[in-house]
Amino acid sequence: MHGVAFADALDAARAAERAGLAAAWVPDQLLNVGRPEAGVLPCEAVLAAVAAVTTRISLGPLVLTTPFRHPPMLAKQMAGIEALAPGRLLLGLGAGGMTYADAADALGFERLSGADRVAHVEETIDCLRTLWREDPADFEGRFAWARATRIHPRPLTHVPIVLAAEGPRMLELTARKADAWSCPRPWGLAEGLDRLEALGRPRDSLDVSVFAIAVLGANEADAAAALKRAGPSAQLFGDVEEHHVFGGPERAAARIAKLHAEGAAQITLDPRGRPAPESIDLLVREVLPLL
């Protein structure tokens, strides 16, 4: 649900739940650089709304940039989301992607080095788990601290931490502290899994998902037309036809099967080129039965 207005995001979440999909993810798009007038709301606000209009589907941010958050405040905010959707929150965290520098400058944050951003993610994980586990809780860190903090309501179940990781520092942190790994680019899946194993994290101990753009069509020509409608932004994560889930039902199903064979238990699809409910319907009706 990248770069879409609030009403469209809710429509997508409802459609995903009706279709029986596993999760609905909301991007952390503080600045919609391409279309600032689109009115994209803060991730936390959309998550709360998605929690209120769904009853079964898991939900979470993909992914919150922790250097833009005060860890104790994030603990309170995410505990609130979990209270709205008990047992359904998956907390995706990251160090900031391709728009990090622009967002930091526009919003008045000091730019952190890559190493410090990864350190901020780790401290955020430690802070969240401490404040959710202890009552009252104290926390002392480089970037934030808390004194005799009481978070209520508190998550009643373990909230899985999903780390989006690509570089060596974030993969090392994923190996040590994450419940799940989100691979940001499809072509990095096999290499990333090999790296995590080399770091001592067995594949069967980690939930693995991969992010992919989805441009679907009733046939190849229809998919090509959808890709043209999607525009240049669809290619920001690499060539869609080569690396992502593209094409008519047979081609799209083959690509999903390949990603699964490479180790992805789940595939997070970002539909482009047509309204998300239409893409979800096409996926469930024409693509998934081929798998």
pLDDT tens-digit readout, 221-243 = 999 999 999 999 899 899 999 99
* Sequence-separated (6 or more) residues with CB below 8 Å from residue 241: 227, 247
pLDDT recorded at residue 41: 84
| Distance between CA atoms of residues 124 and 258, nearest Å | 34
Helix residue ranges, H only, the chain:
6-18, 43-53, 71-84, 100-107, 114-133, 168-177, 189-198, 220-230, 240-243, 249-261, 276-282
Q: How confident is the model at residue 5 (pLDDT cuts 50, 70, 90)?
A: confident
Return the pLDDT at 38: 66
Average pLDDT over the chain reads 95
41 vs 36, which has greater pLDDT?
A: 41
Distance of CA 4 to the CA centre of its chain: 15
* Paired strand residues for 92: 162
Specify the pLDDT at position 2: 57
Domain ranges for the chain, please list them. Answer: 6-164
**pLDDT for 148-204, tens place per residue?**
999 999 998 999 999 999 999 999 999 999 999 999 999 999 999 999 999 999 999
Mean pLDDT of 252-273: 97
CA angle 5, 62, 13 (to 5 degrees): 50
> Taking 70 as the threshold, does the pLDDT of residue 260 lie above it?
yes
CATH superfamily of 6-164: Luciferase-like domain (3.20.20.30)
